[in-house]
Chain A
Amino acid sequence: MTESAGTPNATVATPTVTTSTVTASSPARLADDTAAGKTTIAASVVQKIAGIAAREISGVHSMGGGVSRAFGAIRERIPGGGSTGATNVAGVAVEVGEKQAAVDLDIVVEYGASIVELARAVRRNVITAVERMTGLEVIEVNIAVNDIHLPELDGGDEPPAVATARVE
């Protein structure tokens, strides 16, 4: 299931789309780029902030599509292969411009969470965190819910009782 209403009027993620109605608070300008010099915020910074903010919402079980989750699991085991941040950036893609950022999230939700409510909460938290922390205006947050996590599937505590045959 894909719930990807970024903003009321944001339709596609091309850089040319201008959606000026999104943010309630106008983000702080980064710097006076002309005289004082440029301020550059790496995309990985925005990625990490968005990832942390999305995971904060309870009901988000994990992030990433199947492929990126698999890569993330491998990458965590490689020394220096993203030791601290790799888990935070799986499932987060960002596009960062000079003053704006767009965020795409792949999330796995917990079973029992209202996906629409959850997506709304994730979007709100990501926008708040990225705008407050980076000063960039977030023009859209697209959320793809690509799996649902059933808690009893990975319990592992009690082996399935089917081990004993039904008939003897």
Chain B
Amino acid sequence: MHPQGEPAAVPAADPPGDPAGDAAAVAAQLAALIERVPGVAALHAGTYGDVRTYLPGGRLTGVRVGQPDEPVEVALVLGLGRPIPAVVADVRKAVATVCGDRPVDVTVADVIGTWDTP
């Protein structure tokens, strides 16, 4: 249906500098990438509402990039048009373009629509 998403279209993250600011920038970049994966309807704050990144002037829902030794957390609302494992695999690929082989915990918190929802 869709080829591979389009993770390659976004430039990779800048080389790591200040860890805290860097994590926020990475999170924002990830959120933009993940929202473009086919089958992803929205980002979600997660089961406990903790999958968030706090930024100057606002907060970002659905992505949390913690300490370098912690996994990246992503929480999503998916459409029902694609099997969940396929969408999750594409999300992981998209995250890997920025974060390399860092572990990624993906939570599918909700689904919307019916079988033909994109």
Chain A residues near B (Cβ < 8 Å): 28-31, 35-42, 44-45, 48-49, 52, 84-85, 132-135
Say how far B32's CB is from chain A's closest CB, in angstroms.
20
Chain B residues contacting A36 (CB-CB under 8 Å) are 92, 103-104
Contact for B105 among A38, A44, A52, A133, CB less than 8 A: A38
* Count of residues in B whose CB is under 8 Å from the partner chain: 24
Contact for B103 among A37, A48, A133, CB less than 8 A: A37
Contact for A42 among B89, B103, B107, B115, CB less than 8 A: B107
Docked pose: A29 CA to B88 CA in angstroms: 11
Docked pose: A52 CA to B111 CA in angstroms: 11
- How would you classify the secondary structure of chain B's contact residues: helix, strand, loop or mixed? mixed
Say how far A120's CB is from chain B's closest CB, in angstroms.
21
Chain B residues near A (Cβ < 8 Å): 47, 71-72, 78, 80, 83-85, 88-89, 92, 101, 103-112, 114-115
A28-B107 in contact given A42-B47, A133-B80 (Cβ < 8 Å)? no
Would A45 and B108 count as touching, CB distance under 8 A? yes
Would B110 and A31 count as touching, CB distance under 8 A? no
Docked pose: A28 CA to B92 CA in angstroms: 16
Docked pose: A144 CA to B104 CA in angstroms: 39
Docked pose: A52 CA to B116 CA in angstroms: 12
